[in-house]
Structure 1
Amino acid sequence: MLESLIAAALSAGREIMAVHAAGPQVTYKNDCSPVTEADERAEEVILSALARDFPRIPVVAEEAAASGHIPEIKGDFFLVDPLDGTKEFISDKQDFTVNIALIRDGTPVLGVVYAPALGVAWTGEKETARKLFISGEFESVSNHSIRCRAKPPMPVAVISRSHCTPKTEAFVAENGLIDSISIGSSLKFCMLAEGAADVYPRFSRTMMWDTAAGDAVLRAAGGITLDMAGLPLRYEINQSNDDMLANPDFIAWGAPPR
């Protein structure tokens, strides 16, 4: 399954970079969030690949959900964000990603995060996380295993470039996190997974498709994402809830806190 998800992500990245080269045309959804042709083309590629390879597993994807298409979930399901970090993409930055995750019993058990402008991807499955290096022809040319690092004397925080809040700033100050890195998209989870940072506090709105793939990579690398009750973040869709696809606030850790 992992190889199929990697192939789908790389194909989506090809579509995204084609739009990037041509210059994206931006429209806005009902929630005022931006969307481009790259989001739509990437999602179409991913949905086609998943339907072909895994026809019995339902898919919750960002753009389809925005149009009201949310399948009934009774078992495993995929969460797809075809272009996480659309604001960064529009601003011609490089920190945007393709995210595909498999959810089982509320837990992200397999994930692929691909940053096409950076030429790297990350995968997580069971207790194995890897970093892949992707060629200009959108092929994986090499890879190596990654793990979270032990908490250093001076931990490094990663925070959202576009959604930092006063509560986030307070958390950073209260925990003595002198060093922090501001970056977009699910790359924050991947930085924790490969030992480049230690904690990612998120006290502003995210959706399940924003986080599931990166969370899967992080957990496979030995880290964890906890809700504010200190429990592992769950991905359970309650279809009686109007905001059923939104995450609660959370803190992702490289070295799990004691």
Structure 2
Amino acid sequence: MNLVRLSPGLIFCLFFVVSHFTNKYVLSVLKFTFPTIFLGWQTSTGALLLYVTGKFGWVEINGFTRSAALLWLPGSIFFLGNIYAGSKALAILPIPFFFVIQNLSELVFFLIVRLTQREPSSWMKILRVFQRSSKSNHLSDLEQQLINYMISTFLLVSAAHPTGDVFGALEFPFLMSYKFHSGCFASGLLGFLLLLASVKMKSGQTPLQCAIWVLMAKIMASGLSVFVFITELSPLTVYCILTNHAGEALSIYSDKIQR
């Protein structure tokens, strides 16, 4: 019984680790540093798989109006910026340091919200209005993600030629390598499976439990990545990584007390 209850979180951790390792392999080991091409492949694959599985009834996609998609447009822009910055960071940083930077960005956003909480600035007012309007459209997590994938794919494909990524990808030395094609195929598929695992986990557990699972997944990915990828560690960097995870754990514990 306990294993059944824990299985959504364990499956999420598995896909989280393998997905990050696959992306790291393509971006860092193979050095495929053409984000519009790589992310365009991932988002188009995710959109196609969501659409097909929704048509077959394997996942719940009820459809949405054009107005709902337009209202969710700011969320899609934030999503694209997040994955673009994440791919750039993951390409040059070891996975443990990638999570440190990721948590620091969340801390900066938290501090900005705190500082603007008493007298919200104009952009914070716009963000809160956007959150209320998006909730009123009753878009599910999968429907929101489908919109994110569709809009991101369109923008990434549009930017591929102006940025020169198309010509760079055509000259990529591993372009005809089975390792490259296998890595790209796995990255698209694993990203989709990670999304499904995340939605499944959120549907059956509290936000606090989900936050604990995410922390465990990050710790697992950080620890295992040292044995999979070349990672230079010093006492100072180890202290930084441990402090990062400890800080996230304390943040979750404080949320638990406040609830």
Q: Which has a greater percent of helix?
A: 2
Larger relative contact order, structure 1 or 2 (CA cutoff 8 Å, min sep 6)? 2
Q: Which has the larger radius of gyration?
A: 2
| Structure with the larger strand share | 1
TM-score by length of 1: 0.29
